[in-house]
Structure 1
Amino acid sequence: MSQVRELDKAELLAVLDWYRAAGVDLAVGEDPVDRFAKSAAPQPAQQARQAATPNAPARIPATAAITGDPSEARRLAATAQSLDELRTILEAYNGCSLKFRATQLVFADGNPEAKIVLIGEAPGAEEDRQGKPFVGRSGQLLDRMLGAIGLDRTKVFIVNTVPWRPPGNRTPTPEEMELCLPFLNRQVELVAPRLVMTLGGPAMQTVFKTTSGIIKMRGRWQDVSIGTHEVPALPTLHPAYLLRNPAAKQQAWADLLSLKMKMDSLGLS
């Protein structure tokens, strides 16, 4: 029988890092705690301010932010007349519960005047820390992929289907996708790209409005409507998938060459 021993400092840090990556960010005691009720309860300082200003709007309970209204998301997104306005709206938006478990908003990266938009799935741990999409290992691979056809982040605009990291890097739920989709649509409408490339299955399914798998769909151009913007789009494999399956890089390279050919035909090189 193996003996139980205390973990050393390095091992304890490794365990904590594993918990953080899995989305565990609250300590749990032996007695249950209703944290929604606790956060919704007015604090003494807040009660004093409300007493001094009786007409001030009441604080929105945390539970109200868990169930969003897609029609409200569409209304808010439609009011944005620039990417800066859209970012401000998203930073204030409390309709998607992903926001309350993420470190920060991951809005976009690259050139907002670019003619090519890349759409990924959701931020990962490193993206959540830095506030930019594709900055971890998969982002480094993406940069090399773009460089292979003469592109870099000054020539593309990079967004995600959801702008907050799901706990444990899980796939966003259909409800979360529905709440975030109006903001993605408005991003693309404001940039008005000539070409779109989706990265990975969830992004492809969202943009192409399909339940088909990425292996079946990758490499096939289609005209799609993203919001009110119509644009040719090409699905390809996600860089994170390529890191786990290096043999698939050949397929991704074929997709990149197809993108390069389309760019040349439109005079975007």
Structure 2
Amino acid sequence: MEDRLALSALDWWEEAGVDTFVDDAPRDWLAPAAAPAAPAPVRNHPSPSAQAEAPATLPADLAAFRRFLLADGAVPGPPLARLDATGDPASGTMMILDMPEAGDRAAGRLLTGDVGELFDKMLGAMGLSRDIAYLAPLSPARSASGRLTPEAITALGALMRHHIALVRPKRLLLLGDAPARALLGLGCVEARGRTHDVTSEGGPVPAIASFHPRLLIQTPARKKAAWEDLQLFMAL
């Protein structure tokens, strides 16, 4: 039991970005700095920031790319914490959210709990369901903080553009701030209320940005504005 708790704590700190242990021995912080050592030979090891970037060559097949998103080290987040996209990629309707909810990994699917119930109601109001839409997370894994850094948004946006090119949807719904920033360069509040074109290798795709169902639960007053966005989306 104690071993499992210790491993769980270490996993949490690793996800949070802690990669250096504190020294056990005391250190004299006032001692003069040692002379710099000769520079080590340059090796072709990628830096941590380079590892977060999309590889030069990505799978050209949707099924292979989805497997890549779930397993490859170039994708931010531990593989065991990642979730796959759901729904029908041939439906023509693609919806993008920031990341899984806190309880999604245990449930084994995206958007569960109260947030998922509201999302299903939003789909029903548009005459859609999870079976006749394609739902994909910008980040397959939930971050420890529940937020994505600007660097992660940039790297994940490059992967999502490739994802969109493989799916070739007729319309996109961007749910929340992170997908809007990744694909439009605007926050959700700035981007909503009008149609945008998201460029990808497959050409431009019309897109509507709206609030994430999570935010609508936290601030119900925004539901009227969200319904206006969904009406724009249905008109695409």
Q: What is the TM-score when the length of structure 1 is the normalising length?
A: 0.66
Q: Which residue of 2 aligns with 1:86?
A: 65
User: Is the Cα–Cα contact under 8 Å of residues 156 and 182 in structure 2 kept in the other structure?
Assistant: no
Q: Which residue of 2 aligns with 1:174?
A: 150
- Please state if 1:218 is matched with 2:195: no
User: Is the Cα–Cα contact under 8 Å of residues 106 and 164 in structure 1 kept in the other structure?
Assistant: yes
Counterpart code for 1:247 = A
- Alignment partners' CA distance in 2, 1:227 and 1:136: 35
Find 1:229's aligned residue among 186, 189, 203: 203
Q: Which residue of 1 aligns with 2:163?
A: 187
Identity %, equivalent residues: 26
Q: How far did 1:96 drift?
A: 4.3
- Alignment partners' CA distance in 1, 2:20 and 2:216: 44
Q: Residues 160 and 229 of structure 1: is their aligned pair in 2 closer, same or farther, counting only changes over 3 Å? A: farther
Name the SS of the counterpart of 1:167 in structure 2: coil
- Please state if 1:256 is matched with 2:204: no
Q: Residues 186 and 111 of structure 1: is their aligned pair in 2 closer, same or farther, counting only changes over 3 Å? A: same
Name the SS of the counterpart of 2:154 in structure 1: helix
Q: Residues 173 and 37 of structure 1: is their aligned pair in 2 closer, same or farther, counting only changes over 3 Å? A: closer
- Alignment partners' CA distance in 1, 2:190 and 2:19: 43
Question: RMSD of the TM alignment (CA)?
Answer: 2.9
Q: Bigger CA drift: 193-202 or 174-183?
A: 174-183
Name the SS of the counterpart of 1:125 in structure 2: coil
Q: Which has the higher helix share?
A: 1
- Alignment partners' CA distance in 2, 1:133 and 1:88: 16
Structure 2 gap segments, 5+ residues each:
1-6, 12-17, 22-44
Structure 1 gap segments, 5+ residues each:
1-23, 29-34, 39-62, 263-269
Q: How far did 1:37 drift?
A: 8.6
- Aligned residue pair count: 202
Find 1:244's aligned residue among 202, 218, 224: 218
